Chains A and B, each alone.
Chain A
Amino acid sequence: DAKTTQPPSMDCAEGRAANLPCNHSTISGNEYVYWYRQIHSQGPQYIIHGLKNNETNEMASLIITEDRKSSTLILPHATLRDTAVYYCIVRCTPPGDSGGGADGLTFGKGTHLIIQP
């Protein structure tokens, strides 16, 4: 799986959009971008994933650049409860796991997002 680079920490004001960058310049054509977050002392929580198109769900939006070498996770209206460590992960196994594989995700250090009141 390709390596990712994220800033170690970021601040954002409550109510503003939080934009978390991730660099994955060595991503290959069949690798997906996943985002998870971990609130203090809890298990990580899935947020969103994408291959090359921008994606949006009830939690966030994922913007992937055309060359797929970087992406941005957007939390449109950050709240204090969004304070967490955010992990950007690239993995080669398609979501459907057509091969039946059960590879575990490799987590890096992530970005500690702090929402300021």
Chain B
Amino acid sequence: ETGVTQTPRHLVMGMTNKKSLKCEQHLGHNAMYWYKQSAKKPLELMFVYNFKEQTENNSVPSRFSPECPNSSHLFLHLHTLQPEDSALYLCASRRTGGPTNTGELFFGEGSRLTVL
């Protein structure tokens, strides 16, 4: 248990569906991240939010739409996805700043997405 909760853990959707992934942390962290992990590939950083503001978008297609309503919640809205978007989507969070901060990223268990 890392303190970062992702729902749903598994999702199957068709290419015309609209769905959302949710990430929640109550660790007092201010930075939140979405990563994608496709089969046999390294983790790819998708989006970074710091104090609710998006600070990084790594050329992610617009069919992935992130939302960060507050520092504890992060969503990834999905629409008109392709089968190659099937992957494990991981959320992470951490605190920035402070002299004793280790910079450690806390990851959730991930949401396994299958696009048919």
Contact = CB atoms under 8 A, between A and B. Distances in A.
B42 A107 contact: yes
Given A102-B55, A104-B45, A109-B42, A43 B103 contact: no
Contacts of B104: 46, 49
A45 B1 CA distance: 11
A106 B50 contact: no
Contacts of A32: 103
A107 B103 CA distance: 15
Contact of A104 (B33, B97, B112): B33
B96 A41 contact: no
A96 B50 CA distance: 15
B88 A41 contact: yes
- Secondary structure at the A interface, as helix, strand, loop or mixed, is loop
B41 to A, nearest CB: 8
B105 A46 contact: yes
A36 B98 CA distance: 22
A102 B50 contact: yes
Size category, A interface: 20 to 34
Given A41-B110, A44-B107, A102 B31 contact: yes
A43 B96 contact: no
B81 interface: no
Interface string A73-117: 000000000000000000101111110111111111110000000
Contacts of A91: 103
Given A42-B109, A42-B110, A46-B104, A101 B45 contact: no
Interface of B: 2, 4, 30-31, 33, 35, 42-43, 45, 48-50, 55-56, 88, 90, 92, 94, 96-110, 112
Interface of A: 32, 34, 36, 41-46, 49, 91, 93-98, 100-110
24 contacts: A41-B110, A41-B112, A42-B110, A43-B2, A43-B90, A43-B110, A44-B105, A46-B102, A46-B104, A49-B104, A93-B103, A96-B97, A96-B98, A96-B101, A97-B98, A102-B55, A102-B56, A102-B96, A103-B48, A104-B35, A104-B48, A104-B105, A105-B45, A105-B105
